[in-house]
Amino acid sequence: MRTIRYRDIADDLRRRIAAGELGAGRVLPSESELSGEYAVSRVTIRKALEELRRERLVDSRQGFGWFVAVDPVSQTLGRLGTIEAQLAESGATPERRILDFEVERPPPRARQVLGEGPVLRVRRVNLADGVPFARVTVWCPEALAADLSVTDVARASFYDLLGIELGGATQTIGAGAAGADDAAVLDVPVGSPVLVCERVTRDAAGRPVLVSEHVFPAHLTEFVVDLPHVAGSISPTGLRLVD
């Protein structure tokens, strides 16, 4: 029987990518798993993957391993918008799937911002062209969300559903590592790098009305800040050290 060489493996992976079996942004099986699948050494697998990287079909990052190459979605921080709008602007087809929908006592951070009253918690996964793009959890005071259903939050954003004038938001972005739950939802390895964003949205009177947490696989998104004026420091406004 003919020995499978790295070019044969590269051809097969190329075919699987072209057929959509391995979609853009998808994390590939580990080198060890591919080694077992093709019954070759990891050295041979690495040579096949490096050939595909030269063709810009795959890429790798520390903590992720290998994934099908994709241009990250650029999210502009200068305006208040939704994930769906950002994805649509990038040319991707957005989709949302509701994972949890329940009224509960607010967890500490939501209680600190929204007060002691019960909140509606909605946890969802946003997808871009069928690939998990973000895990989002939103907390909203029950008084504002009393008339909302699972169907409502599956079809539209809270910004559209609340029926109140919004005044703005404060967004904090940091680096993190995917825990077991998020890794399963986002289809990435446990411990892989993620961007964690907290957003506090206010109404026109300045009262907080939403607290949300957004977790993005780090290889799928980037945040862009415009700096139109040159001052004494070129650091983005709001930049601070983590204690």
CB 13 within 8 A of CB 45: no
DSSP string, the chain: -PPPPHHHHHHHHHHHHHTTSS-TTPBPPPHHHHHHHHTS-HHHHHHHHHHHHHTTSEEEETTTEEEE--PPEEEESSS---HHHHHHHHT--EEEEEEEEEEEPPPHHHHHHH-SS-EEEEEEEEEETTEEEEEEEEEEEHHHHTT--HHHHHHS-HHHHS-S-EEEEEEEEEEEE--HHHHHHHT--TT-EEEEEEEEEEETTS-EEEEEEEEEETTTEEEE----S--S--SPTT-----
Q: Report, as ranges of residue numbers, the positions in the chain whose pLDDT lies below 50.
A: 1, 233-234
197 CA to centre of own chain: 10
CATH of 73-224, one of 3.40.50.12280, 3.40.1410.10, 3.10.580.10, 1.10.760.10: 3.40.1410.10
Strands 73-76 and 94-104: unpaired
CATH 1.10.10.10 fits 6-68, yes or no: yes
Q: Where do we find the tokens 């290998």?
A: 66
Q: Which two tokens stand for residue 196?
A: 């964690």
For 128-137, the pLDDT digits (tens) are 888 898 999 9
The total of other beta-carbon atoms located within 10 Å of residue 26's CB is 19
The domain limits of the chain are: 6-68, 73-224
